[in-house]
A = this chain, B = another copy of it.
Amino acid sequence: MKDENVNPWKIKGARQVYDNKWINVTEFDVINPSGGKGIYGKVHFKNVAIGILALDDEQNTYLVGQYRFVLNEYSWEMPEGGGPEGEDYLEAAKRELLEETGLVAKNWRQILRVHLSNSVSDELSIIFLATGLSQETACPEETEQLAIKKLSFDEVYKLVMDGKITDMMTVAAVMKLKLMLIEERPMLNF
């Protein structure tokens, strides 16, 4: 029986090949678990991907729309942003929600903590459910050009199930909330 705590990969060398404000890329010389020599390119994320699914008292939720540079396409998603490693992720979530939608939430609950793409990157995503909402003024970052939509949660759930929303963080958050609503509705009345 293999010991899950023992790393079967051996690292023989490493060189950083790229670095910017958000990521760096390192190429490792490795011996793989089967004993073969090879290289492994790892993308390290300097931020945690924070997502906020905001649900108001009438079961509406909020999507932001933006043109995603890396996809060359427009995407509707829950509010998302980067939380620097070591920062309080709940504080980062509060800041992102306020910046992108102008919303302040009384109640916060972490609903997902996942690795987004674990063959190549160490990107961690932490997703919160925010309820008890009140509207303040949005103040998007200079680089962002966001549109905002308030939609019923049912409508957003349908968009997800029909494959009309393709952002994985949003897809997973909406499915998780739906399952929570089905299984433990009372817990949502904080």
Contacts and interface: CB of A to CB of B under 8 A. Distances in A.
Interface stretch (A35-43, A55-63, A90-98, A100-108): A35-43
Nearest to A68: B118
Given A123-B117, A147-B2, A172-B168, A33 B67 contact: yes
A71 B118 contact: yes
Interface in A102-146: 112-123, 125, 142-145
A156 interface: no
One complex includes copies of this chain to the number of: 2
B114 A171 contact: yes
Interface of A: 2, 4-9, 17-18, 20, 22-23, 25, 27-28, 30, 32-34, 36, 38-43, 45, 49, 65-72, 74-75, 80, 82, 112-123, 125, 142-145, 147, 161, 163, 166-168, 171-172, 175-176, 178-179, 182
